[in-house]
Amino acid sequence: MPPPDIDVDAYFARIGYDGPRTPTLETLAALHFRHPQAIPFENLDPLLKRPIGLTGSALESKLLRARRGGWCFEQNLLLRDVLQSLGFQVTGLAARVMWNVAEGVVRARSHMLLKIDGFEGGPHIADVGFGGLTLTGAVRLVPDMEQPTPHEVFRLIRGGSDFVLQASVRGEWKALYTFDLQPQLLVDYEVSNWHLSTHPESPFVSNLMAARVTPERRYGLFNNKLSSHALGGDSEQVALATPTALREALEGTFGIELPDDPGIEALLERLSTRT
């Protein structure tokens, strides 16, 4: 299969990377660290009732040229295409989200992640699209081993035939999602992408969510609540009570160039009054 037709130079410029292009663990680590700092998680399009395209050209147009963010399918498909263009062996996987899900509730396989093969130490898992607690480094596909990343410590445990990804949060292991190793095709992601962006009960069509990391902090936005989490330190939360404050956070803290959409001002006004 030929490599994807993706503008790797534009991607490198977007994330501020000018290092080697060889398919090594060092290259993967550098890209995985920079990507979530430069390309934030955000779901403005479902709120504005704009379609989310998953083709290579749609990803380039939105995430690279329009300097927007995106959610898991956009983020990880873009990373997949770049990695494959560099010669990495990449497989798309699907996961059931467990984060903030009540015990006993089983969610659909609505999250995308990547498996990368070809390394001496075995396959690794990469994921730049989980939002508020997304990985900032790839982890080995090895269960019961604590694995530090530039931010939190993660581990994989076995849950029957599946793997569960957990993060150490304030000394307690929290499950992010569970997944198996069945390869996924673009059409699989398109179904979930359409469902999450259009179904009236999807949280993404009624709530604004954004996330971005820096080397020292994680930032999160839920509607008009802006949170900041220092690595190994305190957390803060403030309410953004005006459309101007919300716009400034989206453009400044999260680095999003807001879309030129006639509904954006009404959306910011509505979100700023959330209680």
Strands 41-42 and 89-97 turn out to be unpaired
Among residues 111, 124, 151, 229, the one annotated as catalytic is: 111
**Residue 128 and residue 76 in contact, taking contact as beta carbons nearer than 8 Å:** yes
Among residues 7, 127, 151, 229, the one annotated as catalytic is: 127
Q: Check residue 127 and give left, alpha or beta (phi > 0: left; psi -120 to 50: alpha).
A: beta
Q: Would residue 195 show up in a list of annotated catalytic residues for this protein? A: no
Q: Would residue 72 show up in a list of annotated catalytic residues for this protein? A: yes
Give the closest residue to 83 by CA, choosing from 16, 29, 156.
29
- Give the burial class of 93: count Cβ atoms within 10 A of its Cβ; 0-12 exposed, 13-18 middle, 19 or more buried: buried
Q: Would residue 32 show up in a list of annotated catalytic residues for this protein? A: no
Q: How far apart are CA 74 and CA 60, in angstroms?
A: 10
Q: How far apart are CA 200 and CA 223, in angstroms?
A: 17
Q: How far is residue 104 from each of residues 110, 167, 169, 175, 179, measured CA to CA in Å?
A: 17, 20, 21, 13, 16
In a 3-state reduction of DSSP, which class is residue 54?
coil
Among residues 72, 81, 124, 229, the one annotated as catalytic is: 72
In a 3-state reduction of DSSP, which class is residue 202?
coil
**Positions marked active-site:** 72, 111, 127
